[in-house]
Chains A and B, each alone.
Chain A
Amino acid sequence: MSLDNSAPMNANTQNDATPSSSGVAANSSEIILEMQKIRKEFPGVLALDDVNFELKKGEVHVLLGENGAGKSTLIKILSGAHQATSGNILLGGHPVHIESPRHAQDLGIGVIYQELHLVPSLSAAENVFLGREKTSPFGFIDTNSLRIATAQILSGLDITIDCATPVKHLGIAQQQMIEVAKALSLDARILVMDEPTSALSESEIKQLFSAIRRLKAKGVSIIYISHRLEEIFEIGDRVTVLRDGKVVGTKAIIEISRAELVKMMVNRELKEQYPRERPPRGEEVLRVDRLCRKGVFKDVSFALHSGEILGIAGLLGSGRTELARAIFGVDPIDSGTISVKGKPQKISSPRAAINVRLGFLTEDRKSQGLVLRLSVKENITLSSLDSWSRAGFIDFRKEEQEAGAYVRELRIKTPHLRQQAMRLSGGNQQKVVLAKWLSSKADIFIFDEPTRGIDVGSKVEIYQLMNQLTARGAAIIMISSELPEILGMSDRILVLRHREIVTELAAGEATQESVMRYALGA
C-alpha cells in the first residue's frame, strides 16, 4: 500500500536531448512542459497537492484518475482558467506565469474540451478563424482564403471536411477535428484532449488516432485525458495517475499493466469509518427487469429489498443518474418492467413514482431538489401538500406540525420554519430534501450522490439517517462516485459501465480496486 511517488525527470535533462528536425518521435527526451509542485487550494478543499507533471515533445501523455482526482483542475491551471496557489510552470525550460486562457493560447497551449466550443451556425473555416478573419481592403471577410487555409491544416492531419457547411451539420468527430485545426492554426505546440473519444464511433476513433500520430510526427505534444484503458494502451506513451489531488506515479505505458494502473488509481487507506448498521434483509420491494433506453442504458435488471442499501458505482457517463431518472418516471423507457412490492407499475411521471412510495434525492439539490426561494416548511411539504389541504386550501397548522416534526427528527439547523431554503448549509439543505420524501411517505429511496459538497460532520449525520431509514424497513439505492462511501455504506454493489450492469458484488467481497476494475473494464 505504499504511495509510489516516482519523481519525474527534472529540468537538467533537457540539455541532453538531440532534437531532430524531422519528426520528433516519442522517445525523444526533450521536455517541453514542466509543472512543478503545483498546489491549488479552494476554500475548504485542497484540490492539488504538490503535483509534478512533465510533458515531452511529441509524446502522448495520458492523465488518469477518478472523478475528483484533480485532472480538470490541473488542466484549468495549464490553460489559464485558474491560477495555482503555488508552484511553477516551465515551458521549454523557461518559467512562465499563465495569466489567462488567452495568454495560454499565445503560449501555444490549446485545449479541446468535451463540450466543444464551436459556433454551430458558422462554417468550419469561420470557426477556425473566429476573431482573426482576414479582410479585404474594404473590410469584407476573405472567405475563400479562410477556407483554403483551413483545408490545408486539416489535410495535414489527413482529414477532409467541407469547410463551407455550418458545423452543426457535421458529426461530432469532424467537429472535434475542427477544434484541433483551430488550435493548430494558433500554433499550439501542446494540445490537451479531454475525453476525446466519449462520443465517437470505432472508425472515428481510428481516424482520431491517426490524426494524433500525425500531430506527434509534427512535434506537437498531447496531454490525453481518458478513462478508456484500451485506448490508453493503444495511443499513449506515458501515463500519470492522480489520486485525491496527488500524483501517484508516472510510468511508461509499455512498462505497466492494467491491473497495476487500477491499483494506482484507487489504492488508499480507508481512513473514514462508515457507520453502516446492517438490519436483517426483508422482502423484495423493487424489481427492475431488463430496462432499456436507447443510447442511455441497456438490459438493466436488479432487485431491491427492504432494509437494504444497494450501491451503484460507475464512472461519469455510465448511465447511473439516467437509470435513476427513468425509474422515477422523469425520463421514458423503451422496454423493460418495473415492479414495486410485487406489482408491475408503469411509472410515467414523478407523481406516479411518488404514489408508489418512491423518493428521489437528486444529484444537484440546489437546482433539482429544492425551490430555494421557498421556505424550509414549504419545501418539506412540496410533494405531500395534498395531505395537508382540504378543497384546495392548505391547513397551515397541520403543515407546520408536519414540517416542525421533521425539522426536529432530522435535526435540521434552521432559525425557524419560514427561513428560505437558500440560506441553509449544504448538509441541512440535503436534510430538507430528505424530509420532503419522508413527508410524502416514501419508503424506497434513490440517493444520487447524497453527500456531495457536504462537510464531514453532516456526512456522518446523513449516513446515520440512512441507517435509521433502513432499520425501519425502507430500502435505498445509493448512487455514488466516492468509492469509500460505496464500500462503506452499501450492502450490495452494482457496477455500471458503458450503460450496462457489469457485475453485482456483495459488500464483503468488494474492494476499491475490484470495483474500479469493473468500472473501467480492466
Chain B
Amino acid sequence: MISKELFWQNSRQLGTLIGLLLVMIIFWILSPYFMTVSNLLNIAEQTSINAIIAVGMTFVIITAGIDLSVGSIVALSGVALADMLQAGHAGPLAIAVGLMVGALCGLVNGSLISYGKLPPFIATLGMMSVARGAALFYTDGRPISGFNADFRFLATGEVLSIPVPVVLMLFLYGIAYLVLNRTKLGRYAYAIGGNEEAANLSGINTKLVKTIVYGLCGLLSGLAAVVLTARLNSAQPIAGMMYELDAIAAVVIGGTSLMGGEGKISGTLIGAFIMGVLRNGLNLLGISSFTQQIIIGSVIILAVLVDMTLRNDRKPLFGKGLFK
C-alpha cells in the first residue's frame, strides 16, 4: 500500500542521504586518512555541537519561525555554567543553571513572538545582541577557564568507545524524532507552520506551542554550550559566533522548508553531517579555510536549489493530483 505519494514524501531525505554518501565517497577517494574509524568518530564529535543546536532550530523552522539568537545563547549559557563551576558548585547544579539560562532566553523569544506579536526574525535578532551583550558584561569580556575532569568527561569521555557528545547527539535525535512524530506538540508544530490560522481556528493554543518551541530551542542551545565548554575547558563570552548560520544551514540542507509546515529531523542530522564531512574532508586535503567557506556556502545554495526544483516538479496543483 505504499503509494507514490508516500515515497515522494520521504524521498527528499533519501536524496540528501545519497548526497552525503556521495561526498563521503569522494573524500574516500581523494584522501587515505578519511575513511578511518577514528576520523569518522572525529567528524561525529565535531558535528555534535551544531547538530544539537540544529534540533531546536528544526522545531522552530517547522513552525515557520527562525531563531537567530542560538549562538549568543550558547555564549550566555556557557558563562553562566562556568561561573557556577568556578564558584565551586557541583557539576549537575551548574549544568542545570546553564540549561535554565538557555531555556529562559528561549522563552523570552517565544513570548515576544507569540504574545508580543513580533516577527521571529526581529525578536531573535534582538535577543542575539542582548544575550551576547549580557555574556560580555557578566564576564567583563574575559573567558572563564579550568574545570575538573569529571565535568570535562562530558566532552572528552567515551561510552562504549563512542565519544559522549556523539551519544548525546544520537539520544537527542531519537527523542526529537519521537516528539515530532508521535506527540501532540509535534503535530501542533507542523500544523502551526503549515497554516497558523487554520490551527488557531481548530482550537490549538498556537501561542503556547510557539513559546514552548522557542524555549526548547534555547534549552538545546544551552546543552550545546555545556558540551562546548567541557570540550574547550573554558567558557568564552565570544563563543558561538555564527552558530545560528550553521544550524540553519543544517536544517535547510536536510530538506526542511523555511516556510514551515514540513520537514524531518532525520534530514537535519544528515544536513549537519554533510557540513561536518565537508569541513573535515577539505581539512584533510589541506584546503585553506577561506576556500572551505566558499565551498560550503556553494553546497548550501546548491542543496536548496535542487530541493526547490524537486519540490516544484512534485508539488501538485490543487485538485490536479486526482487526475494522474
CA of A351 to CA of B209, assembled, Å: 14
Nearest residue in B to A350 (C-beta to C-beta)?
Answer: B203
Question: A83-91, A298-306, A381-389: which lies at the B interface?
Answer: A381-389
By a CB distance below 8 angstroms, the chain A residues around B195 are 367-368, 370-373
Instruction: Report if B199 contacts A (CB, 8 A).
Output: yes
CA of A272 to CA of B178, assembled, Å: 51
Instruction: Report if B261 contacts A (CB, 8 A).
Output: yes
Instruction: Report if B159 contacts A (CB, 8 A).
Output: no
Nearest residue in A to B207 (C-beta to C-beta)?
Answer: A349
Question: A92-100, A126-134, A283-291, A420-428: which lies at the B interface?
Answer: A420-428
Instruction: List which A381-434 residues lie within 8 A (CB) of chain B.
Output: 382-383, 385-386, 389, 392-394, 396, 415-416, 418-420, 422-426
Does the CB pair B182–A425 fall under 8 Å? Answer: no
Does the CB pair A350–B202 fall under 8 Å? Answer: yes
Instruction: Report if B197 contacts A (CB, 8 A).
Output: yes
Does the CB pair B184–A367 fall under 8 Å? Answer: no
Instruction: Report if B262 contacts A (CB, 8 A).
Output: yes
Instruction: Report if A505 contacts B (CB, 8 A).
Output: no
Does the CB pair B1–A374 fall under 8 Å? Answer: no
Does the CB pair A423–B6 fall under 8 Å? Answer: no
CA of A319 to CA of B285, assembled, Å: 69
Instruction: Report if A354 contacts B (CB, 8 A).
Output: yes
Q: A372-B194, A392-B185, A394-B187 are in contact. Are A423 and B322 (CB under 8 A)?
A: yes
Instruction: Report if A440 contacts B (CB, 8 A).
Output: yes
Q: How far is the CB of B15 from chain A (nearest CB, A)?
A: 19
Does the CB pair B203–A423 fall under 8 Å? Answer: no
CA of A423 to CA of B198, assembled, Å: 17
Q: A382-B191, A385-B187 are in contact. Are A371 and B200 (CB under 8 A)?
A: no
By a CB distance below 8 angstroms, the chain A residues around B262 are 373
Does the CB pair B319–A425 fall under 8 Å? Answer: yes
Q: How many residues of A contact B (CB 8 A)?
A: 40
Of the candidates B184, B205, B319, the one whose C-beta lies within 8 Å of that of A351 is B205
Does the CB pair A389–B319 fall under 8 Å? Answer: no
Q: How far is the CB of B88 from chain A (nearest CB, A)?
A: 38
Q: A350-B203, A366-B318, A423-B321 are in contact. Are A394 and B183 (CB under 8 A)?
A: yes
Q: A374-B190, A389-B184, A418-B6 are in contact. Are A425 and B322 (CB under 8 A)?
A: yes
CA of A328 to CA of B182, assembled, Å: 29
Does the CB pair A374–B184 fall under 8 Å? Answer: no
By a CB distance below 8 angstroms, the chain A residues around B201 are 328, 330, 350, 360, 362, 368-369
Instruction: Report if B204 contacts A (CB, 8 A).
Output: yes
Q: How far is the CB of A363 from chain B (nearest CB, A)?
A: 11
By a CB distance below 8 angstroms, the chain A residues around B182 are 393-394, 396
Instruction: List which B163-205 residues lie within 8 A (CB) of chain A.
Output: 178, 182-185, 187-188, 190-191, 194-195, 197-205
Instruction: List which B308-324 residues lie within 8 A (CB) of chain A.
Output: 316, 318-319, 321-322
Q: How far is the CB of A440 from chain B (nearest CB, A)?
A: 7
Instruction: Report if B36 contacts A (CB, 8 A).
Output: no
Does the CB pair B203–A383 fall under 8 Å? Answer: yes
Nearest residue in A to B188 (C-beta to C-beta)?
Answer: A385
List the count of A-B residue pairs having beta carbons below 8 Å apart.
97
Nearest residue in B to A360 (C-beta to C-beta)?
Answer: B201
Instruction: Report if A485 contacts B (CB, 8 A).
Output: no
Does the CB pair A351–B187 fall under 8 Å? Answer: no
Per-residue interface assignment for chain A, residues 327 to 352, with 1 indicating a CB less than 8 Å from any chain B CB and 0 otherwise: 01010000000000000000001110
Q: How far is the CB of A520 from chain B (nearest CB, A)?
A: 31
CA of A328 to CA of B198, assembled, Å: 13
Does the CB pair A382–B185 fall under 8 Å? Answer: no
- The listed residue with most B CB atoms (<10 A of its CB), out of A371, A394, A422, A440, is A371
Instruction: Report if A436 contacts B (CB, 8 A).
Output: yes
Instruction: Report if B3 contacts A (CB, 8 A).
Output: yes
CA of A415 to CA of B321, assembled, Å: 11
Of the candidates A368, A373, A385, A418, the one whose C-beta lies within 8 Å of that of B5 is A418
Q: A382-B204, A393-B182, A394-B183 are in contact. Are A370 and B198 (CB under 8 A)?
A: yes
By a CB distance below 8 angstroms, the chain B residues around A513 are none
By a CB distance below 8 angstroms, the chain B residues around A422 are 316, 318, 321
Q: How far is the CB of B110 from chain A (nearest CB, A)?
A: 18
Instruction: Report if A34 contacts B (CB, 8 A).
Output: no
Instruction: Report if A378 contacts B (CB, 8 A).
Output: yes
Does the CB pair A378–B187 fall under 8 Å? Answer: yes
By a CB distance below 8 angstroms, the chain A residues around B184 are 385-386, 389, 392-394
By a CB distance below 8 angstroms, the chain A residues around B198 are 367-371
By a CB distance below 8 angstroms, the chain A residues around B183 are 389, 392-394
By a CB distance below 8 angstroms, the chain A residues around B191 are 371, 374, 378, 382
Of the candidates A371, A386, A415, A426, the one whose C-beta lies within 8 Å of that of B199 is A371
Nearest residue in A to B316 (C-beta to C-beta)?
Answer: A423
Q: How far is the CB of A385 from chain B (nearest CB, A)?
A: 5
Q: How far is the CB of B65 from chain A (nearest CB, A)?
A: 16
Nearest residue in A to B320 (C-beta to C-beta)?
Answer: A423
Per-residue interface assignment for chain B, residues 201 to 242, with 1 indicating a CB less than 8 Å from any chain A CB and 0 otherwise: 111110000000000000000000000000000000000000
Instruction: List which B4-52 residues lie within 8 A (CB) of chain A.
Output: 5-6
CA of A330 to CA of B178, assembled, Å: 32
Does the CB pair B6–A373 fall under 8 Å? Answer: no
Does the CB pair A415–B3 fall under 8 Å? Answer: yes
CA of A420 to CA of B319, assembled, Å: 11
By a CB distance below 8 angstroms, the chain B residues around A351 are 203-205
Does the CB pair A419–B200 fall under 8 Å? Answer: no
Nearest residue in B to A395 (C-beta to C-beta)?
Answer: B182
Q: A394-B184, A426-B319 are in contact. Are A354 and B203 (CB under 8 A)?
A: yes
- The listed residue with most A CB atoms (<10 A of its CB), out of B178, B183, B185, B195, is B195
By a CB distance below 8 angstroms, the chain B residues around A368 are 195, 197-198, 201
Q: How far is the CB of B311 from chain A (nearest CB, A)?
A: 12
CA of A423 to CA of B191, assembled, Å: 17
By a CB distance below 8 angstroms, the chain A residues around B316 are 422-423
Q: How far is the CB of B187 from chain A (nearest CB, A)?
A: 6
By a CB distance below 8 angstroms, the chain A residues around B6 are 418
CA of A362 to CA of B202, assembled, Å: 11
Q: How far is the CB of A253 from chain B (nearest CB, A)?
A: 43
CA of A383 to CA of B200, assembled, Å: 10
By a CB distance below 8 angstroms, the chain A residues around B199 are 371, 382
Does the CB pair A374–B5 fall under 8 Å? Answer: no
Q: How far is the CB of A148 from chain B (nearest CB, A)?
A: 41
Q: How far is the CB of B42 from chain A (nearest CB, A)?
A: 36
Does the CB pair B5–A436 fall under 8 Å? Answer: no
By a CB distance below 8 angstroms, the chain B residues around A354 are 203
Does the CB pair B5–A419 fall under 8 Å? Answer: yes
By a CB distance below 8 angstroms, the chain A residues around B322 are 423-425
Nearest residue in B to A362 (C-beta to C-beta)?
Answer: B201
Supplied contacts A374-B261, A394-B182, 14 more A-B pairs, CB within 8 Å: A328-B201, A350-B201, A372-B195, A373-B190, A373-B194, A378-B191, A386-B184, A389-B183, A393-B182, A416-B1, A418-B6, A419-B5, A420-B5, A422-B316
Q: Please provide the 9 A-B residue pairs with the shortest distance between their CB atoms, ordered closest to farther.
A: A423-B321, A371-B194, A351-B203, A354-B203, A371-B195, A373-B194, A383-B202, A382-B202, A350-B203
Contacts from B to A (Cβ < 8 Å)? 1, 3, 5-6, 178, 182-185, 187-188, 190-191, 194-195, 197-205, 261-262, 316, 318-319, 321-322
What are 8 of the A-B contact pairs (CB < 8 Å)?
Answer: A330-B201, A370-B195, A370-B198, A371-B194, A371-B261, A373-B195, A389-B183, A426-B319
